């Protein structure tokens, strides 16, 4: 009877039909729309820039150190005085991610002190050789418009570069009610300042102040202006 019960499960699933979507154009006349994705989906990484075009990565290698799959390789270098790449003393000279190893855990995003790396909602990317699976800095760094590079083997659609995995970290109050509704994330090239997450007050993002009219120093438990940032995301 055990065998029959197993076949019964198989036959039941066959009757349910398939759930795979054929969303590529020109295949069977199906829709070209992708299935909707969760807002916090962890997909292909990007290296972000500040609104003035400066790179956020400072080559500190914390993302590589925290990565459990050891798929990230970073080497920092001193900023050239005549053409600085980042606002700090150093920048990410080499940045590589091996997607044959990456498990998209997002720990690199959490470890990054400058909000340089985030994960988009793109996961439809495949490779014809192993070399293509190792993304270099040129491929990861966003363009002059702040948008991710569109590589030949990637299938980008509208909105997949928005609300990346850093969105929750950027807008969460970190357990302190004093920072409810405060955006703790510097502006990004092409996107500006991220709006507060759903359920939080939008007062700070829209007007640059708390929805209640109080200042960060008034509400901060330590009395300092914990929510004030300089133009490159540093705390005063």
Annotated domain spans of the chain:
45-140, 165-231
The reported pLDDT for the residue numbered 236 is: 37
Least reliable range by pLDDT among 5-9, 35-39, 131-135, 190-194: 35-39
Of 24-28, 123-127, 152-156, highest mean pLDDT: 152-156
Q: Of residues 215 and 46, which shows the higher confidence score? A: 46
Instruction: State phi, psi for 124 to the nearest 5 degrees.
Output: -90, 75
The reported pLDDT for the residue numbered 109 is: 92
Q: What is the mean pLDDT of the chain?
A: 77
Contact by Cβ (8 Å): 47, 57:
yes
The reported pLDDT for the residue numbered 135 is: 95
The reported pLDDT for the residue numbered 215 is: 39
The span from the CA of 228 to the CA of 211, in Å, is 15
The reported pLDDT for the residue numbered 201 is: 52
pLDDT band at 213 (very low <50, low <70, confident <90, very high): very low
Tens of pLDDT along 77-104?
999 988 899 998 999 999 999 999 999 9
Residue 137 has pLDDT above 80, yes or no: yes
Buried (b) or exposed (e) across 20-55, using 16+ Cβ within 10 A? eeeeeeeeeeeeeeeeeeeeebbbbbbbbbbbeebb
Tens of pLDDT along 39-87?
778 999 999 999 999 999 999 999 999 999 999 999 999 999 888 999 9
Residue 152 has pLDDT above 50, yes or no: yes
The reported pLDDT for the residue numbered 198 is: 56
Distance set, CA 64 to CA 92, 126, 179, 180 (Å): 12, 23, 30, 31
Residue 161 has pLDDT above 50, yes or no: yes
The span from the CA of 188 to the CA of 56, in Å, is 9
Q: Which residues contact 213 (CB under 8 A, 6 or more apart)?
A: none
Q: Of residues 177 and 223, which shows the higher confidence score? A: 177
The predicted model gives 141-165 an average pLDDT of: 89
Count of Cβ atoms closer than 10 Å to residue 224 Cβ: 12
Kindly provide the residue ranges of all beta strands, DSSP E only, lying in 100-190, ordered along the sequence. Answer: 117-119, 134-135
Residue 13 has pLDDT above 60, yes or no: yes
Distance set, CA 2 to CA 7, 8, 13, 14, 30 (Å): 9, 10, 17, 19, 39
Contact by Cβ (8 Å): 179, 227:
yes
CATH of the domain spanning 45-140: 3.30.70.3270
């Amino acid at each position: 009877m055990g065998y029959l019960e197993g076949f019964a499960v198989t036959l039941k699933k066959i009757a349910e039909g398939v759930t795979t979507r054929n969303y590529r154009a020109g295949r069977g006349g199906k829709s070209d729309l992708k299935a909707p994705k969760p807002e916090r989906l962890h997909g292909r990484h990007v290296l972000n820039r500040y609104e003035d075009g400066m790179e956020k990565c400072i080559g500190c290698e914390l993302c590589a150190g925290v990565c459990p799959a050891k798929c990230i390789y970073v080497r920092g270098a001193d900023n050239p005085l005549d053409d600085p790449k980042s606002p700090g003393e150093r920048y990410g000279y080499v940045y590589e991610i091996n997607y044959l190893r990456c498990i998209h855990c997002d720990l690199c995003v959490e470890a990054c002190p400058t909000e340089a790396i985030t994960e988009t909602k793109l996961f439809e990317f495949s490779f014809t050789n192993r070399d293509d699976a190792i993304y270099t800095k040129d491929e990861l760094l966003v363009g002059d418009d702040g948008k991710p590079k569109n590589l030949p083997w990637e299938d980008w659609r509208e909105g997949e570069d928005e609300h990346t995995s850093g969105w929750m970290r950027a807008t969460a109050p970190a357990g302190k009610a004093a920072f409810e509704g405060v955006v703790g994330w510097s502006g990004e090239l092409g996107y500006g300042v991220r709006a507060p997450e759903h359920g939080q007050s939008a007062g700070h993002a829209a007007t640059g102040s708390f929805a209640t009219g109080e200042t960060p120093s008034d509400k901060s438990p330590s009395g300092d202006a914990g929510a004030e940032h300089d133009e490159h995301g540093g705390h005063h």
